[in-house]
A and B are shown apart, each in its own frame.
Chain A
């Protein structure tokens, strides 16, 4: 997962690891892309609002490296905002994003849903 907010990064990673997931997490999207291993990850969780790189741009880079990898977005903002008018987001399936704040239990449920449903 990639999220510039250290505390969000830490908590979500911890919750996932506590539930048996292996997680590589990055606060810097450029570093994340540099270390990205194609055909290795089951799911890439991407924060949309990052100072270094927009989440959608990151998504495109990842898909360019690994067409088949599953992705989902993490959003704290409002969906009506201009930030989400990006074509990439509107072309993705409706439930491919996770709104934070989210309860740890609910987060695991959503991740499992996305893992089974979203291609």
Chain B
């Protein structure tokens, strides 16, 4: 249990470490990825900013050059002799020529007389000439201002008579007849007209197509001249209600409207610059630059570019994000696999350790058992030596003592010789017992089997003992009940009589007075021999060990008799057992029984009925 807890504690620590590392690396990768994409975004924004500035600069230069060209064409037209000499036919060619030169921007050229009335228009025929001839345009600033200043004039937005919004550039036609200021007389004004639509298209074409941007153009008064995709606001004042209201609705966040207005105010003062403003929730860079012609700010140009990354860059960032996610997922998976491996390894190790521990425990247990058995064996060995010593020395003492005494007491000669003989027999019996035990333990007890009637053998042994008993103890009766039965067995006669003798002598030893009954009977395939006495019985304590070596209740035995008897019976394939006749009352005697396998009935029947009763 303790081990298990320790293992799971280690597992938790390992899991925590793996998880921490995985989370740490994931966070790092995520930060790195975010940093990289931000960096890419910054670089892209920087690119957008500088591109917007470059674009606004380039386009304003191109437009300025174009307008300069138109101004130059007007100047040459104003100096053309045909106009000075009022030669309409020639003037037509010259004017058409100018319109042809700047046709990609200009709508038409027009020649006004000194009173502001139309003298001539480019690309007109006789019919249209008649329609416009003499139209009074003297109220238009493009006439009045050059008339007074004798200089080139760039108009702000003007809605023409035909309702088309246009810009105008005009140049005075001065007659230089003499010298000095008084001689400069105005004979007319030449005007170039630019349609806003044409201007818008011109600007649109100037935009680099790959650059995702919109273009805007204001005149110097803040009137919207052009705005990509928002032509409905052309002609509106940039700070007027209409445009401002649409600005309010499209401004996220609201403060971006003020930023935009500040930017426009600044640009209208003729400054060059740019600003980053959120429009519709997206970051835009708006770059502005005035379009200056002859050192004068005629128009203001705006380029607005959204900070959106190019598709492939976005794809790349997406790919990197995907890759990062994949790496994090893989890290997680690897961490899980490592954790799983560590766990299963730990588990396997624990199993192996447990198995080994179990094996060790078993080994220790079996060693302890073996040790215990050795101890028991040792004790038995000592016990054996002690008993053998006692059993040898006692009769030896008697023999030794009598053999000396016999000379001194010749009158007791017979008695002493008998005593010597008795003790010698006792020694012999002991010697035989010890030899038998040695044979049994070395498994070299040999049986000389022969076929005989068990009842006859019992009779012989009983007869020997009966004579002995009757001589010494008249109060014990020995009975052999043969029940007229012949019991054939195949056994070692001497060994079996040894068993019966042993059981009988035990019975006699513990029976001071009463009856000892010996009985043989057939039960199934077995012969049973019972020796029943009415003596003191068996001490219940020693019953479980009764047939072991050195278990003797009488202090005058070797404790080997029952062990030898049991070994002999078992060698014949039989069994021996014993018990007290009455469990509660001491002194009612004991019964010893042993069984032997019978010879098959056919083998025994031939001699049936020959035995007689003998008690």
- Residues of A whose CB lies within 8 Å of any CB of B are 4-5, 7-8, 10-12, 14-15, 18, 49-51, 76-78, 80-83, 99-104
How many Å from the CB of A20 to the closest CB on chain B? Answer: 14
Min Cβ gap B330→A in Å is 78
The answer to whether B389 and A4 touch across the interface, beta carbons within 8 angstroms, is: no
Q: Given A4-B555, A18-B408, A104-B405, is A11 in contact with B398 using a C-beta cutoff of 8 Å?
A: yes
Q: Which of B386, B404, B408 has the most CB of A within 10 A?
A: B386
- B534 nearest CB across to chain A (Å): 20
Name 20 interchain pairs, CB-CB below 8 A, sorted by A: A4-B555, A4-B556, A5-B398, A5-B556, A7-B395, A7-B397, A7-B423, A11-B397, A11-B402, A12-B401, A14-B401, A15-B401, A15-B405, A50-B555, A76-B389, A76-B394, A80-B382, A81-B383, A101-B400, A102-B397
Are A10 and B419 in contact, with the CB atoms below 8 A?
A: yes
B contact residues around A4 at 8 Å (CB): 555-556
Closest to B398 in A: A7
Closest Cβ of chain A to B387, distance in Å, is 8
Instruction: Tell whether, in the assembled complex, residue A8 and residue B382 are in contact, meaning their CB atoms are under 8 Å apart.
Output: no
Q: Is B140 in the interface zone, CB < 8 Å from A? A: no
Output the nearest chain B residue to A99 by Cβ-Cβ distance: B393
B409 touches A (CB below 8 Å): yes
- B394's partner among A8, A51, A102, A103 (CB-CB below 8 A) is A8
Distance of B16 from chain A, by nearest CB (Å): 65
Give me 5 other A-B pairs in contact (C-beta within 8 A), A78-B389, A100-B397 excluded.
A5-B394, A49-B390, A49-B555, A51-B555, A100-B394
Cα A83 to Cα B386 in complex, Å, equals 9
Does B27 sit within 8 A of A, measured CB to CB?
Answer: no
Q: Is the CB of A11 within 8 A of B401?
A: yes
Quick one: which of A10, A50, A83 has the most chain B CB within 10 A? A10
Q: Assess A7 versus B422: contact at CB under 8 Å? Given A80-B382, A101-B400.
A: yes
Measured in the bound complex, the distance between the Cα atoms of B404 and A18 in whole Å is: 12
Is the CB–CB distance between A11 and B405 below 8 Å?
A: yes
Q: Which one of B383, B387, B393 contacts A101 once the chains associate, using CB atoms below 8 Å?
A: B393
Tell me which residues across on chain B come within 8 A of A100, comparing CB atoms. 393-394, 396-397
Is the beta-carbon distance between B382 and A81 smaller than 8 angstroms?
Answer: yes
Asked if A76 and B397 make an inter-chain contact with CB atoms under 8 angstroms apart, the answer reads yes
The answer for the CA separation of A16 and B393 in the assembled complex, in Å, is: 19
Contact A77 B390 (CB under 8 A): yes
Q: At the interface, yes or no: B554 with Cβ under 8 Å from chain A?
A: yes
How far, in Å, is B427 (CB) from chain A's closest CB? 12
Task: Tell me whether A77 and B402 are in contact in the complex, defined as CB-CB below 8 angstroms, given that A10-B419, A101-B397 are known contacts.
Answer: no
The one of A76, A78, A99 in contact with B385, judged by C-beta atoms closer than 8 angstroms, is: A78
By CB atoms of chain B within 10 A, which of A15, A81, A101 has the most?
Answer: A101
- Chain B residues with Cβ below 8 Å from A81 are 382-383, 385-386
Min C-beta distance of A78 to chain B, whole Å: 5
Task: Give chain B residues whose Cβ lies under 8 Å from the Cβ of A103.
Answer: 400, 404
Give the distance to chain A from B503, nearest Cβ to Cβ, in Å: 20
Cα distance, A76 to B388, chains bound together (Å)? 10
Chain A residues, Cβ within 8 Å of B405: 11, 14-15, 18, 104
Among residues of A, the one whose C-beta sits closest to the C-beta of B408 is: A18
Nearest-CB distance from A18 to chain B (Å)? 6
Query: How far is the CB of B40 from the nearest CB of chain A, in Å?
Result: 99
- By a CB distance below 8 angstroms, the chain A residues around B556 are 4-5, 51
Q: How far is the CB of A107 from chain B (nearest CB, A)?
A: 9
Q: How far is the CA of A100 from the CA of B390 in the complex (A)?
A: 9
Instruction: Return chain A residues, CB-CB under 8 Å to B422.
Output: 7
B532 to chain A, nearest CB (A): 23
List chain A residues, Cβ under 8 A from B393.
76-77, 99-101
Residues of A near B389 (CB, < 8 A) are 76-78
Chain A, residue nearest B426 (CB): A7
Find chain A residues with CB under 8 A from B401 CB: 7-8, 10-12, 14-15, 101, 104
Cβ-closest chain B residue relative to A76: B393
**Residues in B411-445 with C-beta less than 8 Å from chain A:** 419, 422-423
Closest beta carbon of chain A to B472's beta carbon, Å:
12
Q: Are A7 and B419 also in contact (CB < 8 A) when A15-B401, A76-B390, A81-B382 are?
A: yes
Contact A51 B554 (CB under 8 A): yes
Chain A residues with CB under 8 A of B400? 11, 101-104
CB-nearest residue of chain B to A18: B408
Q: Is B386 a contact of A78 with CB atoms below 8 Å?
A: yes
A104, B404: Cα distance in complex, Å: 8
Please report the C-alpha to C-alpha distance between residue A82 and residue B402 in the assembled complex, in whole angstroms: 31
Q: Which of B382, B397, B419 has the most CB of A within 10 A?
A: B397
Q: B404 to chain A: which residues have CB within 8 Å?
A: 15, 103-104
A104 to B393, CA, bound (A): 15
Q: Closest Cβ of chain B: how far from A82's Cβ, in Å?
A: 8
